[in-house]
């Protein structure tokens, strides 16, 4: 039988077991966390796919969802509290990784439910379905802000009257385009990701 014809529970078990062989320290964690988030925020309706740890597109993204093969890629540095990647020393770790995984799961949900790709409308975060998902999830996560699409506007800057193009939320939106792109990390309160010395030490031990 082809893997794509397996039941969701059988596919999950198989992928998790393979991850345990390939990335024993972090592979199973990703699948277990994905399963918890799927039940909590998506009624368990997302279809599981590969969750791999490796370099993302251009090396700058912390996570990426590939629609064609239903694959989530997570950058390995996000689980290392002692890492200086993206100038986030002391902020990386399981909390950050969980939020990044959830971000990619929203892309996964939009594709599986609406069959819309990340760049269907030229913006993978500044379009209706993404905003709808953020507005659905924010109350569940006790996060503040109203998501709406943003549009470009030219505004005067400085005394010389020069103009600058900025993105402004439409209607009653309160979240900027930048906040939508880095949701939910951008809405977490200060200190949410702070890593204690003890947590750093435990993380280092797990790597050996």
Gap between the Cα atoms of 166 and 153, Å rounded: 6
Q: Model confidence over 56-74: pLDDT tens digits?
A: 776 567 899 999 999 999 9
Could you tell me which residue, 207 or 193, shows the higher pLDDT? 193
What pTM, to 2 d.p., does this model score? 0.84
The pLDDT of residue 20 is above 70 = yes
Domains of the chain: 3-206 (3.30.2010.10)
The pLDDT of residue 188 is above 60 = yes
The pLDDT of residue 187 is above 60 = yes
Cβ pair 87, 100 in contact under 8 A: no
Gap between the Cα atoms of 30 and 63, Å rounded: 12
Mean residue pLDDT of the chain comes to: 83
Q: Is 165 helix (H, G, I), strand (E, B) or coil?
A: strand
Q: What is the pLDDT of residue 76?
A: 82
Cβ pair 125, 181 in contact under 8 A: yes
Q: Model confidence over 90-115: pLDDT tens digits?
A: 456 788 899 999 999 999 999 999 88
124-128, 195-199, 203-207, range with greatest mean pLDDT: 124-128
């Amino acid at each position: 039988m082809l893997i794509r014809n397996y039941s969701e529970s059988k596919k999950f078990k198989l992928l998790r077991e393979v991850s345990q062989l390939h990335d024993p320290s972090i592979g199973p964690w990703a699948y277990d966390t994905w399963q918890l988030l799927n039940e909590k925020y998506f009624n368990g309706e997302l279809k599981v796919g590969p969750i791999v740890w490796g370099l993302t597109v251009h090396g700058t993204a912390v996570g990426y969802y590939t629609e064609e093969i239903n694959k989530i890629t997570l950058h390995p540095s996000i689980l290392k509290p002692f890492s200086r990647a993206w100038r986030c020393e002391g902020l990386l770790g399981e909390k950050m990784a969980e939020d990044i995984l959830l971000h990619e799961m929203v892309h996964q949900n939009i594709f599986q439910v609406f069959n819309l790709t990340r760049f269907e409308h030229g913006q993978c975060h500044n379009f209706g379905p993404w905003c709808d998902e953020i507005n659905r999830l924010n109350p569940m996560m006790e996060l503040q802000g109203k998501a709406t699409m943003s549009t470009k506007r030219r505004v005067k800057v400085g005394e010389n009257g020069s103009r600058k193009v900025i993105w402004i939320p439409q209607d009653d939106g309160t979240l900027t385009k930048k906040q939508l792109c880095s949701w939910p990390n951008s809405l977490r309160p200060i200190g949410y990701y702070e890593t204690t010395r003890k947590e750093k030490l435990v993380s280092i031990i797990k790597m050996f």
